[in-house]
A and B are shown apart, each in its own frame.
Chain A
Amino acid sequence: MAAEEICWKCGQLFSGHFCNACGAIQPPAANYFDFFELPPHLNLDAAELEKRFYALSRRLHPDVFARRSEREQRYSLDATAVLNDGYRALRDPINRAEYLLKESGFDIGEQKSNPVPPELLEEVFELNMALEDLRSGDSDAAPQLEDARTKFVAMREHIDRDLSAKFAAYDESESRELLTEIRGVLNRRRYVRNLVNEVEKALSGYVPN
């Protein structure tokens, strides 16, 4: 939760988006969990998050501050940007986990630099051959790709179940080792997701005769 700070306007101590004493809008908390006044957990109640998003929108949006001082307008703009950015990051479980990892000092790598997870090496090699065949017009590769898609989609679902369990465990323990594990699973998930996308793209471009 946000620490107590001094109101820019009346000098009283306050915490939250507005000063308790004079009601003035304050510069926003940078951390999304703090901003929404939610615990930094990987499993969040989506309905509660949405409720807070709407309630805060009504109070913080620049439309509400159109007739206020320039300074208050600036805080409102900043706060609403954090509100919207935070809502986007926290409403999706994967984005939320990536955000929490980043905030906890983990470097979440770009997908381009991701190495092939070793256990997938063979699969990926075969898949690339089949993709190559299909692109060069060999329609025999299509059923093989359908199989690959089914397999990768199942793999992603398995990963999601694994993640969900790890999320719950983290929320219990807040252990850093678990975060390291989660980062590994997220990288693998991203890799598998890209494979699914690639196969789907290849199959949607292919029209069976």
Chain B
Amino acid sequence: MFQIDFGESSETVVGIDLGTTNSLVAYMDAATPRVIRGEDGDNLVPSIVSLAPNGEIVVGNPARQMLIDRPDRTVYSAKRLMGRGIGDVQDELKLFPFRVAEGSEQVVRIQLGEKQFTPPEIAAFVLRQLKKNAEAALETQVTKAVITVPAYFNDAQRQATKDAGRIAGLEVLRLVNEPTAAALAYGLDKRKKGTVAVYDLGGGTFDISILKLHDGIFEVLATNGDTHLGGDDIDNLLIHIALEDIQSEWGEDLSIHGEAVQTLRRAVIAAKESLSFLPSAQMEFAFHGKTYHREITRELFDRLITGIVDRTLGPCRDCIRDAGVSVEQIDEVVLVGGSTRIPLVRSAVEKLFRAKPHTDLNPDEVVALGAAVQAGILSGTLEDNLLLDVTPLSLGIETMGGVVSKIIHRNSTIPASASESFTTSVDGQRNVLINVVQGERELVKDNRPLARFDLKDIDPLPAGMARIEVRFLIDANGILNVTARDARTGKEQSMDVRPMYGLTDEQVEAMYKASIDNAEADFHARQLAEVRVDADAILAATEKARQSDAYTDLPEEERQAIAKAVNELLLLYHGQDHLQIRSKIEELNAATMTLAENMMNAAVKGALKGTKL
């Protein structure tokens, strides 16, 4: 077999920011990262997915209107559900109108109309749109990507993101932590040495990372965060207040009304955004002929959101401590995420870090730009930069009494590994079960279960004689890989892996195949739509021509041929075969050729007649 060492293919690797609220795709244009705009000219693709009544999947800006018109067929902020089971999304379900399908357990399933999708499939629709945008802009096929994730994402959430890439037909070369990506976008050619804090408050997640820069090496010292804290929480707070106002003014509870809540969400977001640069804003909302209006001042807004902003400060202090630096040693602070436009957030960060935060790059774009830089590093175009990231959560195994023994500590530089020896406790025992968890707590039950590894077919030996070496390795994506070996024989130890959350490889593969079928269906739907537009045009033109003198002047058989072609086209118009429709258009076109020529001649004559000599 040939082993190709230098796969020097020039295929572009794109960088993708798969956000809670918005997603972006960027690429390296020579040495400069650039965001790719969609057909609509927008740099952002809203992370909204809708299943249109005709079965077509609609993504981004077109899906935004569906959020109001068809909330039962539309989903947003699905990133909040990535890699999570039904047991740990109960809080989200109270605040967000997710329609979780019956029977969801290890993986949540979202109901969109008559169909169900897992969060990775929803994310894959967004990724597919970004892929399409990139392919249109770069005029080449795109199959490789770097995708960003919140630094505080756990193993299951990372795996789910990787699965989403696979389902969308993208090979995910690397998952990069969002704040680290931002530092990469900022740090280029900026500073040789120093310590930088990245404060990233997005739509649904909060991350803080502290990095040491060292001649092109970006070394993360520590990271912290909250995967369920962001601008969405501010929106929900304001919506809650408005709903209470409306309840007392109108005597009506709109909270159960999906359409009303979505319209209100828009009003609230508009008010929140203008409060970033105005001293006061109006929350305005009309529904079923009634209107609600409330002025909200910056002062009141600040008071309302203080609690949410304060929730970011604890993780910041912990992160500074874990990084082993003092506040004074932090040279720069970088702000990332749309929510850092809020003045109160900026002043809180400034106060804590005692430094004026950097805001020169667009906080919406900086993560995608950084992902593109990492894509450049992986494709070998940026040789001097290197990212050394850490694992955000400790990895532990269950020991006696349900106590966790930590084997890889949080903030360890990745890749990181640990080896543990396991043995049997009963004569002739054939299986050993290893329970792996992620988190910082002492007891297994307080941490997040990650996977169970069942070492099986162990040689039957007296108790304590078997020795199985298990190697736990967290790769550069922050994802756990486990291998086991019989230390006596040196042979690979067989085991069953049961992830506690997430999809199996087979499920991901099946979803990928289904998504190709869907993509074909999408393609087919588009071709049908296009051919019908052409049919409409020629039918309208023919109809108009039939009123003209040129038509009455035609011989009888020509007029009959035209009528026949019109009828046949109308008959097939609502069918599903776009090729058949196309051929009928051609026939009608041929049948009306003489008519068109005669009309043209008449028009020219008419024009000449009217010309003054």
The reply to whether B412 and A88 form a contact with Cβ atoms under 8 Å apart is yes
The reply to whether A61 and B386 form a contact with Cβ atoms under 8 Å apart is yes
Q: Report the count of interface residues on B (CB-CB < 8 A).
A: 29
Q: A66-B173, A67-B8, A77-B473 in contact; A84/B414 too (CB < 8 A)?
A: yes
The reply to whether B387 and A63 form a contact with Cβ atoms under 8 Å apart is yes
Q: Could you tell me which residues of chain A, from 51 to 91, have a CB within 8 Å of some CB in chain B?
A: 54, 57-58, 61-64, 66-69, 71-72, 77, 80-82, 84-85, 87-88
Select A80's contact among B8, B217, B412, B415, beta carbons within 8 Å.
Answer: B415
Distance in Å from the Cβ of B212 to the closest Cβ of chain A? Answer: 10
The reply to whether B5 and A77 form a contact with Cβ atoms under 8 Å apart is no
The reply to whether A84 and B416 form a contact with Cβ atoms under 8 Å apart is yes
The reply to whether A85 and B417 form a contact with Cβ atoms under 8 Å apart is yes
- Alpha-carbon distance between A71 and B3 when the two chains are bound, in angstroms: 10
Select A62's contact among B379, B380, B418, B475, beta carbons within 8 Å.
Answer: B475
Which of A57, A58, A63, A85 gathers the greatest number of chain B CB atoms within 10 Å?
A63
How would residues 1 to 29 of chain B score, 1 for a CB under 8 Å from any chain A CB and 0 otherwise? Answer: 00111111000000000000000000000
- Alpha-carbon distance between A66 and B412 when the two chains are bound, in angstroms: 22
Which A residues are CB-close (under 8 A) to B475?
62, 77
Which B residues are CB-close (under 8 A) to A62?
415, 475-476
Which B residues are CB-close (under 8 A) to A87?
413
B174 within 8 A of A: yes
Distance in Å from the Cβ of B8 to the closest Cβ of chain A? Answer: 7
Which A residues are CB-close (under 8 A) to B416?
81, 84-85, 88
- Alpha-carbon distance between A155 and B317 when the two chains are bound, in angstroms: 30
The reply to whether A63 and B377 form a contact with Cβ atoms under 8 Å apart is yes
B550 within 8 A of A: no
Which A residues are CB-close (under 8 A) to B217?
54, 57-58
Which B residues are CB-close (under 8 A) to A63?
174, 374, 377-378, 386-387, 476
Which A residues are CB-close (under 8 A) to B417?
81-82, 85
The reply to whether A69 and B380 form a contact with Cβ atoms under 8 Å apart is no
- Alpha-carbon distance between A115 and B551 when the two chains are bound, in angstroms: 110
**Selected A-B contacts with CB under 8 Å, 18 pairs:** A57-B217, A57-B386, A61-B386, A62-B415, A63-B174, A63-B374, A63-B378, A66-B173, A67-B8, A67-B379, A71-B3, A77-B476, A81-B415, A81-B416, A84-B413, A84-B416, A87-B413, A88-B416
The reply to whether B5 and A68 form a contact with Cβ atoms under 8 Å apart is yes
B214 within 8 A of A: yes
B539 within 8 A of A: no
How would residues 405 to 433 of chain B score, 1 for a CB under 8 Å from any chain A CB and 0 otherwise? Answer: 00000001111111000000000000000
Which A residues are CB-close (under 8 A) to B174?
63, 66
Q: A54-B214, A57-B217 in contact; A67/B415 too (CB < 8 A)?
A: no
